[in-house]
């Protein structure tokens, strides 16, 4: 009798091992997630909200001077993963991140690292433009001032101007710098938020659906800007628009239910996806 129970147990164990192996094989990301000389490296990243797992064993590099787009159905974990990259998840009660994320080889989850400084190096632009309730000038000057990046009013003025120029907004606002940032149009506000992010000299800019509240003209301006910013920064953009991902990014990562299913050159992902789930999504059969 005992032998039979043992045999049954062994069969059950073997079956669960097969299931686990199948699941692992299923979860393994298709495509090369590495890049030469990466700006950021993410290894075995997992995220939980309380007992619920939202991201499973994600490995992904972020290159220098590249735009990486993250796509996938609603709830697949794009924003969650993006927030791991500058520790914005730290601010969500019950959220736990494991694995390793490095910026230029330095562990960003190192207890000695100040998250405020990290967020200056890895800045974030949100879906809804969120200027501070301050003047246009102050929106941009605020970060450099708290981080002590300039030594005089003249230097700060110059930094505000260069940041607004890089964000493609200077000509539209140079005569009303003392007016509230909230008085600008949605597209202008989003460029103001980009100027604010640039002002503290980041290495990486994270953008979570930055154009979803904008009209097609404002969207086109931001997309052009993203392409220009690539010369100086690494950019990670979450988007629901596959056309936008195709237009602005060089690499694309496809997420599905917390797994990074496939990553590769944007052109390849959209013309020749290797995983069935990626293909279903980009051909509109899912999501």
Ligand X SMILES: Nc1ncnc2c1ncn2[C@@H]1O[C@H](COP(=O)(O)OP(=O)(O)OP(=O)(O)O)[C@@H](O)[C@H]1O
Minimum Å gap between C-beta 44 and ligand X is: 18
3-state secondary structure 176-214: CCCCEHHHCCHHHHHHHHHHHHHHCCCCEEEEECCCCCC
Which of 69, 79, 244, 266 contacts Mg ion by CB under 5 A?
79
Contact status: 41 vs ligand X (CB under 6 A): no
Minimum Å gap between C-beta 79 and Mg ion is: 3
Question: What angle, rounded to 10 degrees, do the helices at 136-146 and 153-166 form?
Answer: 120
Q: Which stretch binds Mg ion (CB under 5 A): 14-22, 51-59, 77-85, 277-285?
A: 77-85
Which residues from 54-93 bind ligand X, rule CB under 6 A?
54, 72, 74-80, 92
Give rounded-to-5 percent helix, strand, coil for the chain.
Answer: 45, 25, 35
Instruction: Between 164 and 253, name the residue whose CB sits nearer to Mg ion.
Output: 253
Residue 49 interaction partner, one of ligand X, Mg ion, none, beta carbon < 5-8 Å per kind: ligand X
Instruction: Between 80 and 190, name the residue whose CB sits nearer to ligand X.
Output: 80
Q: DSSP 3-state assignment of 259?
A: strand
- The encoded tokens of residue 185 equal 């149009």
Q: What's the full length of the chain, in residues?
A: 287
Which residues from 83-142 bind ligand X, rule CB under 6 A?
92
Minimum Å gap between C-beta 72 and ligand X is: 6
CB 231 within 8 A of CB 65: yes
Q: Which stretch binds Mg ion (CB under 5 A): 75-83, 162-170, 181-189, 257-265?
A: 75-83
Residue 76 interaction partner, one of ligand X, Mg ion, none, beta carbon < 5-8 Å per kind: ligand X
Minimum Å gap between C-beta 17 and Mg ion is: 35
- Helix locations, 211-263, DSSP H: 216-229, 242-248
Instruction: Between 74 and 151, name the residue whose CB sits nearer to ligand X.
Output: 74
* Site size toward ligand X, by CB under 6 A: 11
- The encoded tokens of residue 71 equal 């796509």
Minimum Å gap between C-beta 214 and ligand X is: 16
Minimum Å gap between C-beta 78 and ligand X is: 4
DSSP code per residue over 104-166: TTEETT-TTS-HHHHHHHEEEE-SS----SSBHHHHHHHHHHHTT--SSHHHHHHHHHHHHHH
Q: DSSP 3-state assignment of 64?
A: coil
- The encoded tokens of residue 229 equal 């910013």
Which chain residues interact with ligand X by CB under 6 A? 49, 54, 72, 74-80, 92
């Amino acid at each position: 009798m005992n032998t039979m129970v043992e045999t049954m147990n062994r069969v059950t164990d073997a079956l669960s091992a097969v299931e686990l192996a199948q699941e692992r094989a299923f979860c393994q990301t298709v495509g090369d997630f590495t890049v030469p000389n990466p700006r950021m490296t993410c290894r075995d990243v997992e995220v939980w909200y309380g007992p619920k797992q939202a991201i499973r064993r994600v490995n992904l590099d972020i290159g220098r001077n590249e735009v990486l787009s993250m796509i996938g159905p609603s709830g697949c974990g794009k924003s969650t993963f993006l927030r791991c990259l500058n520790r914005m998840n730290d601010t969500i009660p019950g959220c736990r991140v494991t694995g390793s994320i490095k910026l230029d080889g330095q562990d960003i989850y190192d207890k000695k690292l100040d998250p405020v400084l990290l967020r200056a190096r890895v800045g974030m632009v949100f879906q809804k433009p969120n200027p501070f309730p301050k003047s246009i000038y102050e929106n941009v000057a605020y970060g450099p001032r708290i981080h002590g990046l300039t030594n005089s009013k003249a230097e700060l003025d110059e930094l505000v101007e260069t940041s607004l120029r890089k964000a493609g907004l200077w000509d539209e606002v140079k005569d009303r710098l003392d007016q509230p940032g909230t008085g600008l149009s949605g597209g202008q506000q989003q460029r103001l938020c980009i100027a604010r992010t640039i002002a503290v000299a980041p290495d990486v800019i994270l953008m979570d659906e930055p154009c979803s509240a904008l009209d097609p003209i404002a969207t086109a301006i931001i997309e052009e800007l993203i392409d220009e910013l690539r010369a100086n920064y690494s950019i990670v953009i979450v988007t629901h628009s596959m056309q936008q991902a195709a237009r602005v990014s060089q690499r694309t990562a496809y997420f599905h239910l917390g797994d990074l299913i496939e990553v590769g050159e944007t052109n390849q992902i959209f013309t020749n996806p290797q995983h069935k789930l990626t293909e279903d999504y980009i051909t509109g059969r899912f999501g």
